[in-house]
Amino acid sequence: MKGKDILNEIISTSGGEFYTPIPDGYKLGKTKYVIVTGSVMSGIGKGTISSSLCKCLQDRGLKVEPTKLEAYLNVDAGTLNPFRHGEVFVLDDGYETDLDLGTYERMLDKNLTKDNFVTSGRIYQTLIEKERAGKYLGRDVQFIPHVTGEIKSIVRNLAIKSKADVVVIEIGGTVGDYENMFALEALRELQYEEGHENVCFVNVTYIMQPSSLGEQKSKAAQLGIKRLIGMGIQPDVIVCRSESPVRASIKDKISLNTNVPLNRVIGVHDVSNIYSLPLALREHEFGERVLETLELEKKFKTNGNTALKKWVKETSYFGKGKPLVIGIAGKYTGSSDTYISILKALEHCSFAIDRKLNFKWVETTEIEKGKSVESELKGLDGVIVPGGFGKRGIEGKIAVAKYCRENNIPYLGLCLGFQIALIDIARNVVGLKEANSTEFDPKAKDPVIDILPEQKKIHGLGGNMRLGGKDVEVKPRTIAAKIHNNAKKIRRRFRHRFECNPEYIERFEKAGVVFSGKAPGEQIMQILELPKHKFLMASQFHPEFTSRPLHADEMFLAFVKACEK
């Protein structure tokens, strides 16, 4: 039976065990689905593989919509610790997601929405709200069919809303995790209902190479994929991730033990530039194998590799001059994923100036313990103070800002880095020795940073910040105006509760601070600069979230060019 016949049969069943809500206007087969799962271990690059596949399909002329189903019970990613889970990426609509959505946006050069990121917590929240409203008609609400039914409803609604040719769904976690089993079951049901011609399963697995043996081993990959097969899901394509190129014998074993044809077992080893990955996958015919499964290979034919080759060339640097060394002064320096969008924004600048950038992590809690700021910043061409929350490491960051200001070292402050720069200037230029933020000292004598007025009546951490894309009014004849091509307004993404206290604006301006960006019609300062400094600029927003590989953010690019000098 084809998917159309199966789905019609399910819909016509009255009072049965099925729960498959079909959105109004949904047409089976109009949108196809690719499900990307991971086996063996987490962190093997499902998000990068998924976004690269999206890029390959987009390059062929398909309209592609990525989405991620996450297993954790948080409603969104906003309250997750960045050190444990990587950065919290903020979408233009204000939804807080994990870092993979940033990868999707950068690779596809498009803004995504909350429909592109769904957690288990959000699904359960929807489920309970419907149950309390009596939407399940008195039935006992169960994982199957109700939780799985809600997941299918979400992806089908995304298909309608996006009008995509293909929706690519990344399943968070690893095959075998208890928490994502219901998501895998939901998408097994999706393939059953839609038909195999409309749903393709891709498994990204890991080929181990223990240093003690010096050779690749496939057993863990075989067992991980067999666990997926044991759940009723037969992968159509397998991507073998590895440190070095996957040997032919390994592919043979994977193919033989998983019932996947050899030409659908694709090796992807580590690359220095992830933007070259879509071209590598194109050359392995990854897109062709997926489109064959979805019966789209004749409709969307490849136009050669010209466009992707140009993309790879433009997202590479050939290293003129000595590498620049940029310091990132934070308190989550044990994991690069914590500041991944900042690293990517700097990478985009390296493409623009054709020069390599190296990074040095500056752990500000160590400065608080007594390490010399001078020794920590020695040899740096510039310093970034990124966003963050909480008191730990703050005095170390203020010391970093003071040193950069006094020694004419290029400084870029992002969100919290904007507030840190103001606290330094208030204490050491304006003369307010006890200046602080009420986030760190609620009884500060001079609260130069205070909570947003609209947030003072809200309690709790989740969902009570200024979030998402907002317009920023740029002051004419300033550095900010110059680097943004004299634009009167720009749109950037925010994630903060505290801001410059309006009562201190005049004193800051008398001390030489130029507030070159603010909220339209309000006394909310959003960009500051010191014109007499080599480069000292900070923003209350996060420019790293909207930087793109071929369109480096203007503020980052101006900072890097100042570092070059």
Catalytic annotation, residues: 415, 542, 544
Give the C-alpha distances (Å, rounded to integers) separating 71 from 58, 76, 120, 343.
Answer: 27, 11, 5, 26
Q: Which residues pair with 465 in a beta bridge?
A: none
- Tell me the DSSP string of 207-276: -B--TTTTS-B-HHHHHHHHHHHHTT---SEEEEEESSPPPHHHHHHHHHHHT--GGGEEEEE--S-GGG
Taking the alpha carbons at both ends of the chain, their separation in whole angstroms is: 68
**Identity of the amino acid at 98:** D
Residue 49: which residues within 8 A CB-CB, separation 6 or more?
A: 36, 202, 204, 239, 241, 268, 277, 281
Write down the number of H helices and E strands in the chain: 20, 21
- Among candidates 352, 340, 343, 346, which has minimal Cα distance to 315? 352
Q: Are 546 and 492 in contact (CB under 8 A)?
A: yes
Could you check whether the bond before residue 210 is cis, i.e. omega within 30 degrees of 0? Answer: no
Nearest-angstrom CA–CA distance, 420 and 438: 12
Q: Are 277 and 266 in contact (CB under 8 A)?
A: no
378-403 CB burial, b ≥16 within 10 A, e <16: eebbbbbbbbbeeeebbbbbbbbbbb
**Identity of the amino acid at 430:** V
Nearest-angstrom CA–CA distance, 397 and 258: 53
Residue 527: which residues within 8 A CB-CB, separation 6 or more?
A: 472, 474, 480, 515, 516, 517, 518, 537, 538, 539, 540
Sheet holding 498-500, edge to edge: 435-437, 446-451, 498-500
Nearest-angstrom CA–CA distance, 143 and 133: 18
